[in-house]
Amino acid sequence: MNVSIIIPYKNEEKNIIYTAKKILEQNYKKYEVIFINSNSNDSSFKLLDNFIYKKKLKNFRNISKNTLYPSDSKNEGIKLSKYEYISFMDCGLKFDKNWLDKQVKFLKKNKQNIVLGNLFSSASQSFDKAVISQTWGLNRLINVIPGTLIKKNLLKKTGNFKVLRAGYDRIWILNVRQKFKVLDNKENILKYRDKSDSNNLIKLFNKIYLYSYHSSEIFKKKKFIYLVVFLIFMFSSVYIHLMNSILVYTILRLLFPFLKSKKIYDLCDLRTLLFLIPVGFIIDFARILAFFKKLVKSI
């Protein structure tokens, strides 16, 4: 089984060579690698070009097609791929040297045509633990596109990835689950190399705001729920007592991480507990503003 590995990247000078080396170390050697530059403005393209040249890697390609997002970069990678099976990877993820071999063997053993990637939502820093626990849930396995292995002809049935900055991955996974029998190899796990891209409240607000704004058309139910909750909170703040509303909100935002996280004792250190409420508030505030702006714009 020959595999085309597609890796979109943008401004990944800290991770691009790490990822290239991890692919090069794979025990499974029947692959080509297509790196797609998503309009980077740092040195990542040049770094990768030099790495490929020095190592004389004939099965590695570094492509610029003026794509903007991971979604359209993946679409370009699929067009350029020459093998029957497609796999995806992202920069900044940790995976072992048997990653591709495990996915190929798992697919063959189960006689299917798609196995999804799995990301373990771990973090080492207290702030990152709070962020993950208030979104995905801490220490959970999450199905993701990176790590996924799929027969190329299935991608014709799913259609191209929606050209969006955010949210395209979740809608694609839902679409795939509806159309095909999907395998889930829980023995082959990806982890973040360094989960610190939103290591303060301002960066977190900007990231959540952009993600929510660009994905609001996909997650219409969530947008509606957030706006309703916001209006209820505003109404209760005026007509009841502000402190009661704050208390209810605080309790709910404290409960959410413990209900969603698999290993709740990891949330019990003091620094993480102190971050839970401000992080939760910033996430909600950013989402409400993004969804509200999108609603106003659509009107």
CATH number at residue 61: 3.90.550.10
- Mean pLDDT value of segment 180-209: 84
The per-residue pLDDT for 93 is 94
Long-range contacts of 155-164 (CB under 8 A, 24+ apart): 155/78, 155/86, 160/75, 160/78, 161/71, 161/72, 161/74, 161/75, 162/71, 162/218, 163/68, 163/69, 163/71, 163/72, 163/75, 164/69, 164/71, 164/214, 164/215, 164/218
Asked if the structure places residue 132 within a domain, the reply is: no
* Domain range for 114: 3-123+138-192
Q: What is the mean pLDDT of the chain?
A: 87
Residue 63 and residue 187 in one domain: yes
Q: Are residues 208 and 265 in the same domain?
A: yes
Instruction: Say if residue 240's pLDDT is above 80.
Output: no
pLDDT of residue 234: 56
Residue 228 has pLDDT above 80, yes or no: no
Q: Are residues 60 and 147 in the same domain?
A: yes
At 299 the pLDDT is 64
Residues 187 and 205 in one domain: no
Distances (CA, A) of 47 to 24, 69, 149, 208: 16, 20, 27, 30
- Asked whether residue 72 falls in the same domain as residue 153, the answer is yes
pTM of the model: 0.85
pLDDT in tens, 122-159: 888 889 999 999 988 999 999 999 999 999 999 988 88
Task: Report the number of distinct structural domains present in the chain.
Answer: 2
Residue 220 included in any domain? yes
pLDDT of the residue at 59: 96
Residues 188 and 256 in one domain: no
pLDDT tens for residues 242-298? 666 677 778 888 888 888 887 777 787 888 889 999 999 999 888 888 887 877 776
Q: Are residues 183 and 280 in the same domain?
A: no
Asked if the structure places residue 128 within a domain, the reply is no
Q: Where are the beta strands (DSSP E) in 26-113?
A: 31-37, 60-64, 85-88, 93-94
Measured in degrees and rounded to the nearest 5, phi and psi for residue 131 equal -65, -50
129 is a domain residue = no
> Could you tell me if 149 and 26 lie in one domain?
yes
Regarding whether 222 and 95 lie in a shared domain, the answer is: no
Q: Based on the domain organization, do 163 and 287 belong to the same domain?
A: no
25 shares its domain with 166 = yes
| Domain shared by 36 and 157, yes or no | yes
CB 15 within 8 A of CB 193: yes
